[in-house]
Structure 1
Amino acid sequence: MFAPTSAAAYSKVGVETHIASADPHQLILMLFDGALLSINSAAIALENRDVATKVKHIGKAVEIITFGLKASLDGNVGGELPGRLATLYDYMCSRLVHANANNTPAPLIEVAGLLRDLREAWAGIASTNTDKTYPTGKLEA
């Protein structure tokens, strides 16, 4: 039987392997999934009145949105879209902070819905994008 730390280490290796083999498009999907998982975990912690866990998961979601999704935007392509997405990501983070400060689930539900919609749209791009190269080094939104 594996100890909890052994199972966590094994899981981490699996995630790291998946990240190493993922293309840029898949990495963005993984960021969406990670943010959604963190928000769901925060909602459960909020419901259970587990403040420390709620704070941890909301903080992780904010980091994924800010340093993952927003940082991956390339303002040199896509016209107005990168700027609009950056504004939306900022809004999401402010709503998450509001949920954290006020112990209210409504902003968590709102942000999760926005992220699901964006994830679905991003996943739809995969089937239409036959050119898997990203010459700028940044991910195109």
Structure 2
Amino acid sequence: MSLSVLNQYKQNSILTAAPEELTLMLFDGAIKFVNLGKIHIENGEIEKANSAILRAQDIIVELDSSLDMKYEISKNLDEIYKFILNRLIAANLKKDIAPLDESLELLNEIRDTWKELTREIKKMRYGNKQVKI
């Protein structure tokens, strides 16, 4: 499969995704970039680490800005996102992996919960038909 076909597939996936699926994609992206940041720090690739961590930060900012603050869960998530963002900034400034590990633990937990929620939403939307996430 050529790169342009793969990029077109990715773009179509994003354009046709339901809101809950887009959120799941954001979590996946944040996790990916935090992991890349770790790898680049371990390899001494400071500029690449900086770039990856900044991308993760951008995603966390996007997730935080999408919260509807009239719900209590949004207020809780806002605090978690701000904590993660602060840990990412600390990791980037010090080129330290420990804050990245803390961020990954939280991101994976929230992502897994979101994935299960997405699965339940799809069941409600489409009945008991098997849905792939």
TM range (shorter): 0.7 to 0.9
- Following TM superposition, the consecutive aligned residue runs of length 4 or more in structure 1 with deviations greater than 4 angstroms are none
CA distance in 2, matches of 1:60, 1:98: 15
CA distance in 2, matches of 1:11, 1:57: 21
In structure 2, what is the equivalent of residue 138 of structure 1?
A: none
Amino acid at match of 1:72: S
Q: Where do 5+ consecutive residues of structure 1 fail to align?
A: 133-141
Aligned-pair identity in percent equals: 31
Q: Where do 5+ consecutive residues of structure 2 fail to align?
A: 127-133
Partner residue of 2:95 out of 81, 93, 103? 103
The structural deviation recorded for 1:108 is 0.6
The structural deviation recorded for 1:72 is 1.6
Indicate the structure whose relative CO is greater, using CA pairs within 8 Å and at least 6 residues apart. 1
More helix by share: 2
Q: Figure out how many residues of one structure are paired with residues of the other and give that number.
A: 124
Under a length normalisation based on structure 2, what TM-score does the superposition of the two structures give?
Answer: 0.86
CA distance in 2, matches of 1:53, 1:11: 24
In structure 1, what is the equivalent of residue 36 of structure 2?
A: 41
CA distance in 1, matches of 2:68, 2:125: 17
Partner residue of 1:122 out of 89, 105, 114? 114
The CA RMSD measured in Å over matched residues stands at 1.8
Q: What does 1:45-60 correspond to in 2, within 5 Å? A: 45-60=40-55
Distance change >3 Å, CA 55–CA 11, structure 1 → 2: farther
SS in 2 for 1:85: helix
Under a length normalisation based on structure 1, what TM-score does the superposition of the two structures give?
Answer: 0.81
Deviations 1:52-104 (A, max 9, x none): 1000000000000102x11221123x3x1101101110110110010111111
SS in 2 for 1:75: coil
CA distance in 1, matches of 2:98, 2:6: 31
